Structures are given as structure tokens and as C-alpha cells.
Amino acid sequence: MELVCPAGSYPALKAAVDNGADCVYLGFREATNARNFAGLNFDAATVANGIRYAHDRGCKVFVTLNTYPKAASPQVWRSAVDQASQSGADAIILADPGLMAYAVQHHPQLRLHLSVQGSATNYESLDFYYQHFGIARAVLPRVLSLTQVAQVLEKTSVEIEVFGFGSLCVMVEGRCALSSYVTGEAPNTHGVCSPPKAVRWVETPHGRESRLNGVLIDRYAHGENAGYPTLCKGRFDVASEQNYYAIEDPTSLNTLSLLPDLMKMGVCAIKIEGRQRSPAYVAQVTAVWRQALDSCHQDPMRYSPQPTWFDDLDKVAEGQQHTLGAYHRPWK
């Protein structure tokens, strides 16, 4: 299995490559990128430098164009496909079928990966994208159980990549409308589910409040870690005297214990989430997962996650805690 790591900046790309990533994924500084945070991502010059740095060290580079084009300005997205192809990227990660059709027509040599934002959760969806656009790989949303992932793999010839670590999205990616409800901007068209311009932290007599476009998302006691405000991971007054994380806890997905199962069922790549995170995060997470994958490849039957790996990952996990998420559903 390949280790696919995030590169939200050139230093993060170097951190991933230097610590053992097989592939890195990055995006441009524009709305074509669902991680379009200010101060992050790549322009034409840094993309060229990043690809050169990675290729010189045997690492692949995937360019992520995972938002949906606006009908009034499709040229922005088409130009991004052209730029990714000209830059020498090893693949582009797409969600929109119209953009895939453009890529096939104008850059037939370019390898296409279906983004998690494409929301393909069954083999019929994958076959559609394969038959019409020749996708080589698909990233599955983080809502499938391990059994469901296995069922998809049994019935498709498309390579399957799954998320192994990082922020856990409770929604079927590509179908979330929560942030647009609060900010008027959807991650599927503007990039970023909580735009930085809409984020505010306010100190009050009741504690530190996090707000998104003025809407109260959470309130933290003195000394309590304050997470980045997203509507799905806010605390809500659900009933009388009940205030809790009603939709999703701030926690990170961590599948270290599932590596032998994922390898046995034929998963081709493990993806690490976090293009919005620091180079230090990328370095630490990549190093741990490189060790884990090497250990699993060497002897899957005797593979056992090391306690130090969990300790290192929990330090950078959202909420400093981890979960198997939807992969482990005891009732299924």
C-alpha cells in the first residue's frame, strides 16, 4: 500500500517526502481546491519546484482539483487541469464529471483519480466513472464500514484509496451543505468548509467562544483546548440542560490497527488528511505511518501497532483523541 500524504505548502511537501511518503497531494491557491486556506497551497512556481523535489526522491505528486466548477466560470477549473498536466503531475484528483470529460479530451495521457468529494460509495458509481472517464483510482468517503469497503473492492477493478488518519468528516464528502447554511459558501464550490474570514474567537465572561459568521459554534472553559470551528463539530443545546457534540466529536480517524485487514482486502493506498496543518504535523504523522506500513508489509501476520505510534499521533490528533470512525460498526 502506498502512503499518500498532505502538502498544503512547499515546506509541508518537503516534510512529507523527507519522512517517507510514497505520494503527496497538493492544490492551487484558488477555488479549484477544497482546502483553499489563505497563506497555503501552491502557485505555478512552487508546484514546479515541489514536483521536481518529490520526483528527484522517488515520490509521486497528485494535484487536487476537488471542487465543482461554477457554470459562469468553468475556465478557472479547466485552466487548472491544463496547469496540472503541464507541470508533470503524476495524477489529478477530480470530483466533477464535466471536468473529467475535459481532462480526457484535452489531456488523454493524464491519470485521473476520483476524489472523495465525488461521493462514490458503491461499485456501480466507480464503474460509471471508469467506463466514461477511465479513472485509475478512487478515494472512498469516510462513512463506509470495513465490510462495505471490502464489498466495493470485490466488485471493481478501480484502485481503492482510503483515509487512514486525520480529521474525521461525519458527512458523505461532496454532499455537505452545513457550512453553506451558515456562511453562504459551500466547500464544494468555494473550498474550505469554514472560511477563515468567517471564523472568530471571542473572550467572554463565560469562556472563550468560537463563532462562524457570527453563529456560536462552541464555548470553552479556561484552559480547555479550542478547536477550529466547524458546524458539524460544535456543541449544541439539544434539550433542557443538555449541551454536547450532537453531530460529531472533534476527534481524528486513526486506522493503525486495521492495516493488515486493509492490506488483505486489496486497498492500494492509505491517505493522510491534513493539507491545512503545519509542516511539523506532516513530518510527525508521515514518519509514524511510514514505520507502520513498513512493519505491516514485512510481516502482516505479526504486525502490532506500537504504543509510541498512538502517543505520537494523539499529540497532533483533533481533540487529542482518535477513533476508528465508520470502519468499525459493531452493529453491522
Radius of gyration of the chain (CA): 20
* Nearest-angstrom CA–CA distance, 127 and 308: 41
pLDDT tens track for 42-68: 999 999 999 999 999 999 999 999 999
**pLDDT at 331 (0 to 100):** 55
* Nearest-angstrom CA–CA distance, 130 and 124: 10
Mean pLDDT of 133-151: 95
Domains of the chain and CATH, by start: 2-168+251-327 (3.20.20.70), 192-244 (no CATH)
pLDDT tens track for 235-246: 988 887 788 888
132-145 as b/e: b if 16+ CB within 10 A: ebebebbbbbbbbb
**pLDDT at 270 (0 to 100):** 98
Arithmetic mean of pLDDT over the chain: 92
Is the pLDDT confidence value at 224 over 90?
Answer: no
Positive or negative: CA dihedral 79, 81, 85, 87: positive
Res. 330 pLDDT band, cuts 50 70 90: low
Which residue from 59, 6, 60, 15 is spatially nearest to 37, judged by alpha carbons? 6
Which residue carries 496540472 as its cell?
A: 84
pTM attached to this predicted model: 0.92
